[in-house]
Structure 1
């Protein structure tokens, strides 16, 4: 599983690094003004549906069903299931997009009610969202085909496709801006174009894997399809709790002073870097593996898989959270503070990043724990926990923003993530489906000590390197990151929380031709 995690994680890291370059470019060009606020809301809506209908609920219901069918009934039956689900998803999402395009002003009143006070900003958000909304169909179909590839044990193409989202977004900002009303319009068109490219890549890959898919034909609803749909409906909430919480963040932040949406967006993008690389990679690799083990009755193997997934997640997430917490200001200054993005915006964004960082380990562990439910066909329990977490997030938002403004939004999201993670862990443990083994119990306190050592080193080094001149900020951040990684991995190895030699052996195996 570690090799699969690193395959997905490597491509996801490339995508996230390009994503940071894209965000740096957007910050320099748009700053944290009304065009940026409108574009980020326009991007949020299709991404929310993508993570609910695509990567979230759909993968939670479809990947275990496809992997189990493939293992027990063979490729032909699994192929039929995939094509039938593709037809249903194409029809359903196309209808949803058509309705959304017509009623976008009404949707925007709900999604960003604060924009109504500024008619020009509200109309711009409606225009940009109408441009980006077809991305929903394209990227959800990409998620479906990626699920097939993951079920076949092919992780590379599906993980590589999002790289083109960032490439085309940056290209559109350079090439289209002179020909459209605002740079926000150029970015919106780049988003939709990237959906076409990503879908084409995974369709090509699944054809090469010997399972070409037709996306458009007459939908059929045999029992196996109805079972996937039945599991998918409650999973819309259970798998998408983080995204629903972030949507609440948008609604609340739209009511705050101008720029709040942008501060939270930029902070979230930095915070999402380890979440996307680690959480998505572990969840993607674990779900089909755990589904096969549960289907085959291999309880001990399933137990080991979950524990190792939690160990990998914490080993990589704890230092990321610690670094974001103690070095939020240098990170934001180095990445974003240039052009239209000034010191005031950098300080506001850094405060939000530190608050988001508090919840980072919980965000990633939720990805792991959800697979324990989804692999067993239980999407209802995460719904109940998810509803409580969403309610808690909303309540905390209303309380914390009174004193902390946009930072309260980020802190509410972090606290509700910890509630979500702990509730899922307790429920799995009560069922006998989660037991922390000796190796994990031994590793966690040692990883925490290594994280504390790293945090101390970063705080000391910050005093030397920052504030840095504009041209040197990225170099200073690179030194900070390099020293932090060296201290953490060295301390974790010496304390016995992480075997660095095992990681090195895994990387060497991945480089060997197969």
Structure 2
């Protein structure tokens, strides 16, 4: 199956999830607004999600897939060795999750106190609500960690659709809670009840996703039974890989933890602005970054296991080119017109125009690092496929140090926008170091042909950005007008950007037949 087809399968279903997520946040803005219960909810929701992305979807998946592929062989081979390894991991994972979740529930007041802003912590009722919501949502981490094991198995078997579709359940559950909340009277008590319903919906969705993936694993002939927990050789090897992978693959999530510390020093509503802005940033980051990173790791592992250096090089090159083809124009468009999107989508109900404008400024800061975040997801698998988990740790650590330094410099001057820019600086540092070390180790380098295509993508994107910059003011009144006016203004901006970019891309040869032929070749 080709890289484009794999990415299309994962990215298409992830796109559906992200659209549901975007609809969820539009409802969230109108029902909860910014500050107060909204800040409490964002903090309670982010804690298990950061852990999930850091440990489960990040470190665990990156370490598990290469080891699983070593046991698993395609073409109908016996699955007993792969099943045994997975059962051994499952047997250890369950007690770890139970103990970790129990500790988290006990220490939650202290944890929330670390990350809560002064305004939230001083409001005792809202702070107590935040603690309760965080406790209710935290079982989601355990459910999703087990679901990630099943997703990694299915992805390694080239069955990407079930895992890519699973997150849709989270957004459906949250939207259901918000629709019920929107039907209440809109007072403070109604917002508090809505926050509790949202917390329950999060944990329920985790259970639903676990059952969904368990069903599809069973349908694929890969059912697992519970074993007695034992530290086997396979489990020990996974543990050795996971520990550095937590840092190497999870720098984005670690930076989110750091952001929470800095947000605690900022005015009320800052955490809501960052969360709402990150939703726009996560549309391309989640769809493209997750799809590419998920699609190439199993294929890279197989190429390297078969000592096919040429196949691994070609796959990595295609992934880099495809990542920039999809993210550079998205980043430029959101940098220029982010405030138009936030005004059109978020303004209304409890979310004011001033809230939307501040959110738009944060969007512009976040997307500066968008291509780097996606490239990190594309480059890191080249190391993990070789079971080299140390190198990404060193690069991520350097990027993280620069991120913290940038935060100390920028946050006092720019507020929450400074947080966004600090993260972008760290991401580009990590990305640059990863590439330089790939070149130094002889794993990968940009060929002149690919570098030329990337330059032409950047040129087409810059022209698109200029067109959007000049067009933006003409729709200013429509961005906060009636629903038809908002839709028309955003559709016009998207159509203009797409027309300019794709016209220039065609003229410059970015989308040539040769490019598409290479990108659609089978990846092994």
Q: How do 1:74-473 and structure 2 match up within 5 A?
A: 74-112=78-116, 114=118, 115-175=120-180, 181-214=192-225, 216-468=226-478, 469-471=481-483, 472-473=485-486
Cα distance in structure 1, aligned partners of 2:155 and 2:20:
23
Residue in 1 that maps onto 2:30: 28
Structure 1 residues 71 and 26: CA distance shift in structure 2, 3 A: same
Q: Does 1:483 align with 2:496?
A: yes
Residue in 1 that maps onto 2:47: 45
CA deviations on 1:305-350 (whole Å, 9 max, x unpaired) are 1010000000000010000110011011111111111111011111
Please state how far the C-alpha of 1:454 moved relative to its aligned partner: 1.1
8 Å CA contact retained: 2:32, 2:191: no
TM-score (norm 2): 0.93
Cα distance in structure 1, aligned partners of 2:434 and 2:399:
11
Structure 1 residues 137 and 368: CA distance shift in structure 2, 3 A: same
8 Å CA contact retained: 1:489, 1:500: no
Cα distance in structure 2, aligned partners of 1:504 and 1:10:
20
Runs of 4+ in 1 over 6 A off after TM superposition: 504-507
CA deviations on 1:440-487 (whole Å, 9 max, x unpaired) are 112111001110121122123223222312321133112211221222
Cα distance in structure 1, aligned partners of 2:30 and 2:517:
38
8 Å CA contact retained: 1:446, 1:495: yes
Deviating more after overlay: 489-498 vs 159-168: 489-498
Unmatched runs of 5 consecutive residues or more in structure 2: 185-189
Please state how far the C-alpha of 1:87 moved relative to its aligned partner: 1.9
8 Å CA contact retained: 1:3, 1:506: no
Deviating more after overlay: 340-349 vs 393-402: 393-402
Cα distance in structure 2, aligned partners of 1:417 and 1:252:
18
Residue 378 of structure 1 aligns to a residue in which SS? coil
Residue 223 of structure 2 aligns to a residue in which SS? coil
Cα distance in structure 2, aligned partners of 1:379 and 1:120:
44
8 Å CA contact retained: 1:442, 1:497: no
Please state how far the C-alpha of 1:90 moved relative to its aligned partner: 1.5
Structure 1 residues 94 and 454: CA distance shift in structure 2, 3 A: same
Q: Find the partner of 2:506 among 477, 493, 498.
A: 493
Structure 1 residues 180 and 192: CA distance shift in structure 2, 3 A: farther
Q: Find the partner of 2:9 among 7, 10, 18.
A: 7
Please state how far the C-alpha of 1:12 moved relative to its aligned partner: 0.5
Please state how far the C-alpha of 1:502 moved relative to its aligned partner: 6.8
Q: Does 1:59 align with 2:61?
A: yes
Cα distance in structure 2, aligned partners of 1:320 and 1:42:
30
Deviating more after overlay: 447-456 vs 107-116: 107-116
Cα distance in structure 2, aligned partners of 1:180 and 1:316:
38
Unmatched runs of 5 consecutive residues or more in structure 1: 510-514
Residue 103 of structure 1 aligns to a residue in which SS? helix
Deviating more after overlay: 125-134 vs 450-459: 450-459
Deviating more after overlay: 257-266 vs 470-479: 470-479
Please state how far the C-alpha of 1:506 moved relative to its aligned partner: 8.9
Residue in 2 that maps onto 1:512: none
Matched residue pairs, number?
507
Structure 1 residues 500 and 467: CA distance shift in structure 2, 3 A: farther
CA deviations on 1:373-423 (whole Å, 9 max, x unpaired) are 111101122122222222222221121111101111111011111111111
Cα distance in structure 2, aligned partners of 1:504 and 1:481:
27
Residue in 1 that maps onto 2:187: none
8 Å CA contact retained: 2:318, 2:518: no
Cα distance in structure 1, aligned partners of 2:352 and 2:156:
46
